[in-house]
């Protein structure tokens, strides 16, 4: 059976060229800051973002936890959109490890407004948690891969800064946003104090993320990474994959976006399903509220025919295009879906 795996862009496998780069990597002990390939990657990532420094970490979840820990104190409150990855998909690490609470805002495709931010800021009162950090996500996973328009991003950040908030960007898929908006990473990063992005999603690496900010922030982040068990030794083999991805896998993200739009157009309306529009990047969300079938039923039917996808919640199915999914794969997935759902 032909398998088209659309569950996540984390499923990509290293290309032959990426494997060759990994095999040839010069390595050292990164805990001692002596891995030349990791050092080169961190310098390059910081430069691309227009920031002072960067830290290579095993995962986006670890990057987020370090960032949350460093930009808050226990008992503080983080302001963020309700469906943010930090809140929904990171096992409560913000509470269990950073010791903070959250103020949840109802966004539009994951995006919030300046007025919402201002309204969520706590009074300076001993009875209340202190509002400390504004947390943004770009692209927004649960929002369907939505991108922050630069003017809206600037306005929301200005609202946060007006109330003394630190600003962090969970940029796990920020390169998708860069390609979709046609802007360099530094244009987005200029609005925030710190940010992260993943190599293991659309960029096609087997593992790794990077946390970026000013030098003092990254110096302390290295300490917290160690505390969390994320100290890396001969990590140059992984950093080499990331450097290869920055050279070869960024511009091609536009192909994933085109494939997602093709997939969305082919699935919209089948069995009462509706695609959440617009489809800006590589994530397609199918809303099932108008269908006779629920998410688990739809996923079960499609998986049985070799098209793998994920239920997001009680009303939504997610499909994600990526490096290992070709146009032919998408066309095949649409044909299968039409034959079993149409």
Please determine, for residue 261, whether its predicted confidence score (pLDDT) is greater than 80.
Answer: yes
Same domain, 51 and 176: yes
> Count of residues for the chain?
342
Q: What three-state secondary structure class fits 43?
A: helix
Which three-class secondary structure state does DSSP give residue 316? strand
Q: 20, 14, 57: which is closest to 204 by C-alpha?
A: 14
Q: Is the residue at 1 inside a domain?
A: no
Whose tokens are 């982040």? That residue is 221
Share of the chain above pLDDT 90, in %: 98
Residues 206 and 283 in one domain: no
Tokens coding 289: 């509220």
Does residue 135 sit in the same domain as residue 75?
A: yes
Calculate the dihedral angle through the C-alpha atoms of 335, 338, 339, 342, rounding to the nearest 10 degrees.
-170
Rounded Cα distance between 100 and 92, Å, is 10
Report the pLDDT value the prediction gives residue 334, as an integer from 0 to 100: 98
Contact 38, 235 (CB under 8 A): yes
Q: 263 and 145 share a domain? A: no
- Assess contact for 307 and 334: CB atoms under 8 A: no
Write down the pLDDT at residue 342: 76
Please state the φ and ψ torsions of residue 180, each to the nearest 5 degrees: -65, -40
Residue 6 lies in a domain: no
Among 255-259, 285-289, 338-342, which is the least confidently predicted range? 338-342
Confidence of residue 21 (pLDDT cuts 50, 70, 90): very high
Number of domains the chain contains: 2
Last residue of one domain, picked from the residues 178, 211, 246: 246
Averaged pLDDT for residues 119-129: 95
Percent of the chain with pLDDT over 70: 100
For the beta carbon of residue 1, count every other beta carbon within 10 angstroms: 5
pLDDT in tens, 35-58: 999 999 999 999 999 999 999 999
Distance (Å, rounded) from C-alpha 275 to C-alpha 315? 12
Rounded to 10 deg, the angle between the 327-341 and 295-304 helix axes is 120
pLDDT of residue 230: 96
* 93: in domain: yes
pLDDT of residue 240: 98
Supply the DSSP symbol for 111: B
User: Which residue range(s) make up the domain with 167?
Assistant: 16-246
Task: Give residue 155's pLDDT.
Answer: 98
Residues 166 and 286 placed together within one structural domain of the fold:
no
Q: Could you tell me which of 107, 114, 120, 110 has the C-alpha nearest to residue 156?
A: 114
Q: Is residue 9 part of a domain?
A: no
Query: Domain for residue 7, yes or no?
Result: no
What would the pLDDT profile of 94-116 be if each residue is shown by its tens digit? 999 999 999 999 999 999 999 99
* CA dist., res. 147 & res. 212, Å (int): 20
Evaluate whether residue 11 is within a structural domain.
Answer: no
> 77-112: b or e for each residue (b if 16 or more CB lie within 10 Å)?
bbbbbebbbbbeebeebbeebbebebbebebebbbb
Residues 183 and 295 in one domain: no
- Give the residue-averaged pLDDT of 182-192: 98
Residues 242 and 274 in one domain: no
Q: What pLDDT does 182 receive?
A: 98
The domain that contains 326 carries what CATH number? 3.90.1150.10
Let me know whether 221 and 336 are in one domain. Answer: no
Q: Which helix (H) or strand (E) holds 260?
A: helix 253-267
Instruction: State the Cα–Cα distance between residues 238 and 8, nearest whole angstrom.
Output: 20
Q: State pLDDT tens for residues 205-246.
A: 999 999 999 999 999 999 999 999 999 999 999 999 999 999
Residue that terminates a domain, selected from 212, 246, 280: 246
pLDDT, position 140: 98
Residues 173 and 12: their CA atoms lie apart, in Å, by: 14
Residue 204's φ and ψ, nearest 5 degrees, are: 80, 20
In this structure, the answer to whether residues 162 and 305 fall within a common structural domain is no
**CATH number of the domain within which 192 lies:** 3.40.640.10
pLDDT of residue 283: 98
């Amino acid at each position: 059976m032909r398998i088209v795996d659309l569950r996540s862009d984390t499923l990509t496998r290293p290309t032959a060229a990426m494997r060759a780069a990994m095999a040839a990597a010069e390595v050292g002990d990164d805990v001692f800051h002596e891995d030349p390939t990791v050092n080169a990657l961190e310098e390059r990532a910081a430069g691309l973002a227009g920031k002072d420094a960067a830290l290579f970490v095993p995962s986006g979840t670890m990057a987020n936890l370090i960032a949350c820990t460093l930009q808050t104190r226990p008992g503080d409150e983080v302001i963020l959109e309700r469906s943010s990855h930090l809140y929904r998909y990171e096992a409560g690490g913000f509470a269990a490890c950073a010791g903070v609470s959250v103020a949840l805002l109802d966004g539009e495709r994951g995006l919030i407004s300046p007025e919402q931010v201002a309204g969520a800021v706590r009074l300076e009162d001993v009875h209340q948690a202190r509002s400390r950090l504004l947390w943004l996500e770009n692209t927004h996973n649960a929002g369907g891969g939505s991108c922050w328009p630069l003017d809206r991003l600037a306005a929301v950040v200005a609202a946060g800064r007006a109330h003394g908030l630190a600003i962090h960007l969970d940029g796990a898929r920020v390169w998708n946003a860069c390609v979709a908006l046609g802007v360099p990473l530094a244009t987005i990063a200029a609005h925030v104090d710190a940010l992260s992005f993943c190599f293991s999603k659309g960029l096609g690496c087997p593992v790794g993320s990077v946390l970026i900010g000013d030098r003092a922030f990254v110096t302390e982040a290295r300490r917290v990474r160690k505390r969390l068990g994320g100290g890396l030794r001969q990590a140059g083999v992984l950093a080499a994959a990331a450097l290869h991805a920055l050279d070869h896998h960024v511009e091609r993200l536009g192909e994933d976006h085109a494939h997602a739009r093709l997939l969305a157009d082919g699935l919209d309306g089948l069995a009462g399903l509706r695609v959440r529009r617009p489809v800006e990047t590589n994530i397609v969300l199918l809303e099932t509220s108008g269908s006779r079938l629920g998410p688990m039923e739809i996923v079960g039917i499609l998986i049985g025919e070799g098209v793998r996808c994920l239920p997001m919640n009680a009303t939504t199915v997610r499909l994600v295009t990526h490096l290992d999914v070709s146009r032919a794969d998408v066309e095949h997935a649409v044909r299968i879906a039409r034959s079993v759902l149409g």
